[in-house]
Amino acid sequence: MFVPLHDGVPLRFMRAPYVTYGLVGTCMGLFLLMWLRESDSDQIAVAAGFGLIPSVLFGTAQLPTDLLQAPVWLTLFSNILLHASFAHLGGNMLFLWVFGDNVEDAMGHLRFLLFFFVCGLAGSLTHALMNPGSDQPLIGASGAISGVIASYLMLYPRVRIWGLAFNWIPLHITALYALSGWILFQFVSAILDPQGHVGWWAHLGGLGAGAALTPIFIHRGVTLFGRPARK
């Protein structure tokens, strides 16, 4: 696995990536609220009520009526902002912090915010369709961030990124190799462990959406793979 630390790509179109900052702050704030709950059962209840449960989404199961819960359709989005552990939160926020600012810069604030949640929605739906009978709640921004990763790779494949391989070996490597390796790992994991504890299919759904939407969402002056995005 590759953990990104820094890319050094300057912003071109905006002063600061306020949406990226806001998303990171929101995810961290909601996690702290969950973590400060009195018991593990309270935290599980929040995950069940606001996470995406495929069997509930498709109507083959129901949550207890006395459980505080979001409307089923809303869990397609609310699950994106919740995280299960400090490691889960930290990993996702690190990827979003390193790559989100430049993707937001290439798209603009509002379009990036829409892009983020559409990629998250694609990830949620892909996970649900691949695990329709699952009773386990899906939470985490990984699907949305996978879309950001796909976009960054299309925008800056030649940028060299500082990061850690296998969480401890320092590397200075191009985004093409680092992120292509990360994407390959998602595909292999989804095939080998389709019903595991990690939402691999949510990652792949987000990746696909990010790749498809990037040419539509970026500014006209932004290039893809070194070529004009559109005329």
- pLDDT score recorded for residue 68: 87
Q: Residue 72 contacts by C-beta under 8 Å, 6 or more apart in sequence?
A: 56, 57
- pLDDT score recorded for residue 192: 87
Kind of pairing between the strands at 223-224 and 169-174? unpaired
Residue range(s) defining the domain that contains residue 47: 2-228
Ramachandran region, residue 166 (left: φ > 0; alpha: ψ -120 to 50; beta: rest)? left
CA-CA distance, 76 to 193, in Å (whole number)?
22
- Cα torsion 179, 180, 183, 185 to 10°: value is -100
Query: Which pTM was predicted?
Result: 0.93
CA-CA distance, 225 to 219, in Å (whole number)?
15
What is the tally of structural domains in the chain?
Answer: 1
- pLDDT score recorded for residue 141: 97
As a whole number, mean pLDDT of residues 175-190 equals: 93
As a whole number, mean pLDDT of residues 17-33 equals: 96
Using pLDDT thresholds of 50, 70 and 90, give the confidence band for residue 38: low
Q: Is 201 exposed, middle or buried (0-12, 13-18, 19+ CB in 10 A)?
A: buried
Which CATH number covers residue 215? 1.20.1540.10
As a whole number, mean pLDDT of residues 150-173 equals: 92
| 103 pLDDT above the threshold of 50 | yes
- pLDDT score recorded for residue 210: 98
